[in-house]
Amino acid sequence: MISPGPVHDSLTAGIGATPLVRLDRVVDGIAAAVHVKAEYANPGGSVKDRAAHAMVTAAERDGRLRPGGTVFEGTSGNTGIGLAMVAARRGYRCVLVVPDRTAVEKIALLRAYGAEVVLTPGTVPQHDPRHVRRLAERLAAETDGGWLADQYTNPANPLVHEHTTGPEIWAQTSGRITHLVSGVGTGGTISGTSRYLREVSGGRVRIVAADPATSRYSGGDGSPYTVEAVGHYLNPDTVVDEWPQTYDPSVVDEFVQVPDGDAVRLVRRVAREEGMLLGGSSGTALAAGLQVAAGLGPDDVVVVIAPDSGRAYLSKYFDDDWCVRLGFVDAPDGPRVRDVLP
């Protein structure tokens, strides 16, 4: 019997209900089951499709976003892709303010969905009117029918994970999950998913936050790190150590600090050994997950959230020269490219 896959009336109906994939190669010597929640399988390619869709839908419901309106956000990342995708589907204009050093591929991707991109200096302090979030705020306020998604304060961001990601994981593991492992960016994913899992399990599921080694969330000094979109660092031009309202630190039972090199080497290994191409923040989460799982028994079930795919990072984590330059691998170790044989 084949499993035919769902039929959707609309693209946005395909957001969520992502697969849970059990790993069996990189878990050598580990008795516990380790599963990856494959958020890269969302239509826009990341976990942020859930939040983007939920924020737009909530704004429509309470009248803040109306037909003919414009969606604004300050983001260079996956939230921008999710918003651009949902805006295209729902017929809104979408304006994304991005730091001027954003990779050309990312800007091209946002524009492919029809979003307008506004570049602004990425190094100005948070209170500067040119700062990514301040500029997005101002443009939204000055635009007739403008609405700012604001993923760092919008309650629809954590809520969608409480209503979807958490219940999906519970059902997919038939209630057997014992450990949830997730990174923290806006904190939407970990806060919402954990709230549901703690509640439904009567507090039995242990919540592990995977954090880049110098991130402030786990008590690091806030110095810069390489893995994108997770953790909290202190911008040298910014003195404010302000954490997002969407992150509820009380859900976390345990932090595991993951050095950049561990995350990078792991995603390279997972691609070659499991055939699964993951982004850097998935590497951070999985490294923490494997570390925790190593101390567990055969009845334990660890679920690691993988926010996006490695496709967006081919010129970084999967580039041998880049990895050698940053000291993450000693020497190029990828398969060679050969010219056409004579």
According to CB under 6 A, which one of 87, 229, 288, 301 is a site residue for ligand PMP?
A: 229
Q: Which stretch binds ligand PMP (CB under 6 A): 6-14, 24-32, 187-195, 268-276?
A: 187-195
In angstroms, what is the minimal distance from the CB of 174 to ligand PMP? 25
For residues 324 and 193, what is the distance between their CA atoms, to the nearest angstrom?
36
Q: Which stretch binds ligand PMP (CB under 6 A): 14-22, 182-190, 206-214, 289-297?
A: 182-190
In angstroms, what is the minimal distance from the CB of 249 to ligand PMP? 12
Give the closest residue to 71 by CA, choosing from 109, 42, 123, 110.
Answer: 110
With CB atoms as reference, the residue minimizing the distance to ligand PMP is 185
Asked if 212 is part of the footprint of ligand PMP (rule: CB under 6 A), the reply reads no
Confirm whether 48 is a catalytic residue.
Answer: yes
**Cα-based distances in Å from 106 to 8, 75, 81, 311, 313:** 27, 11, 9, 11, 10
Q: Which is nearer to ligand PMP, 69 or 164 (CB)?
A: 164
The residues in 30-69 that bind ligand PMP, with binding defined as CB under 6 A, are 46-48
Contact between residue 151 and residue 55 where contact means Cβ atoms under 8 Å apart:
yes
The residues in 281-310 that bind ligand PMP, with binding defined as CB under 6 A, are 281, 307-308
Q: Which is nearer to ligand PMP, 279 or 289 (CB)?
A: 279
Residues found near ligand PMP in the complex (CB under 6 A): 46-48, 77-78, 183-189, 229-230, 279, 281, 307-308
Active site residues: 48
